[in-house]
Amino acid sequence: MDKLTHRCESDKQDLNNRLKKIEGQVRGLQKMIEEDRYCIDVLVQISAVTAGLKRVGFQLMENHTHHCVADAVKSGDGEASIDELMKVIKQFSKS
Amino acid sequence: MDKLTHRCESDKQDLNNRLKKIEGQVRGLQKMIEEDRYCIDVLVQISAVTAGLKRVGFQLMENHTHHCVADAVKSGDGEASIDELMKVIKQFSKS
Amino acid sequence: MDKLTHRCESDKQDLNNRLKKIEGQVRGLQKMIEEDRYCIDVLVQISAVTAGLKRVGFQLMENHTHHCVADAVKSGDGEASIDELMKVIKQFSKS
Amino acid sequence: MDKLTHRCESDKQDLNNRLKKIEGQVRGLQKMIEEDRYCIDVLVQISAVTAGLKRVGFQLMENHTHHCVADAVKSGDGEASIDELMKVIKQFSKS
């Protein structure tokens, strides 16, 4: 079974509100393509959506480190948890 | 009025197919949050979506340079067109 | 006075060997400019140097999280240490 | 033989002044490691050096596009020149 992370309701709602906004922006990009909007304008908007997604990622990473990683360190399982975090930070930084 | 770029139908369809897939992935992210999926798994998926969006951006940038910028250069308006391209590349590279 | 981090000799030597190599590559870039080497070749080499510097940064970040951050978490000062780490990760990811 | 790009003296001097400054900063990083300076301070400095190197890269890319690429487009060899530029932009953006 997949591993789970318990998130409080306000965090979940905040993350999903941002993701819903991003979903709307991706639909907006499709409309811009259909309407033959100028490439540079579409590219500026793609940069905005990418930056928004990265902010969601950083928010998650921050929550994860403050809770899951800190708990793992306290209970003596910090090494694996930190290695896993570093791996995803490298991947994220290249995307 | 907004500036337009005429894109051929096959390019438009290709770009929008990719954007539709990305829209579905952003909805998938919301489901992952609702289902309390493990942060690291969500972060790996966010990296994949960001990388997908960047690929769409590079595709657009490539088409734009081969067509709009090259045409501008040929008709003597290259300077402004290249400055505009470089500005968006810098913005894109930081997002 | 500036804050210090005690690093073991083998870590220091490894980091500085990499930085010495990067210093040599930056001198190599100057030579490429002087010799009028092709822009694309210089850009490929700049990408290699930037990637090398980022690897040194990730190495430092990894050591820091395994040692300084984990120690802070164990002694109850994790919050500030994690906030500081996240701030530098965001800055690093945009550079 | 390697391909060459003729650069004017003032461009060469400007690029090499920036690269000399970056070389000095990389030496400064080695000193920071030797002096056991705090990891976060070293990471902030690495971000600054990386950002400086990227600025040199963007400067070169801009000159290259305004001169070499524009000339290639005008003489009918634009396709290959633009493909080469796009390839290096993608590589640069991931470094």
User: For A3-7, A30-34, B36-40, B41-45, which range has the lowest pLDDT when averaged over its residues?
Assistant: A3-7
Q: Is there a contact between A85 and C92 if contact means CB atoms under 8 Å apart? A: no
Six-digit token string for B83: 């400055």
- Chain-centre distance for alpha carbon D82: 18
- What SS3 state is found at D36? coil
- What SS3 state is found at A3? coil
User: For A13-22, A77-86, B4-13, B29-38, which range has the lowest pLDDT when averaged over its residues?
Assistant: B4-13
Decide if pLDDT at A1 tops 70.
no
Look at the block and give the residue holding tokens 């500030």: C80
Decide if pLDDT at C1 tops 80.
no
Least CB–CB distance from C84: residue in D15, D40, D92: D40
Mean pLDDT in residue range A65-93: 95
Mean pLDDT in residue range C34-55: 96
- pLDDT at position A95, please? 85
How many residues are there in chain C?
Answer: 95
User: What residues in A contact B61, CB-CB < 8 Å?
Assistant: 39, 43
Q: Which domains does chain B have, with CATH numbers?
A: 10-94 (1.20.58.1000)
User: For A17-21, B43-47, B75-79, D6-10, which range has the lowest pLDDT when averaged over its residues?
Assistant: D6-10
The one-letter amino acid code at D23 reads E
Mean pLDDT in residue range C4-32: 94
Instruction: Give percent above pLDDT 70 in chain C.
Output: 98
Kindly indicate the confidence band of residue C3, based on its pLDDT and cuts at 50, 70 and 90: confident
Six-digit token string for C26: 């930056």
Q: Is there a contact between C91 and D19 if contact means CB atoms under 8 Å apart? A: no
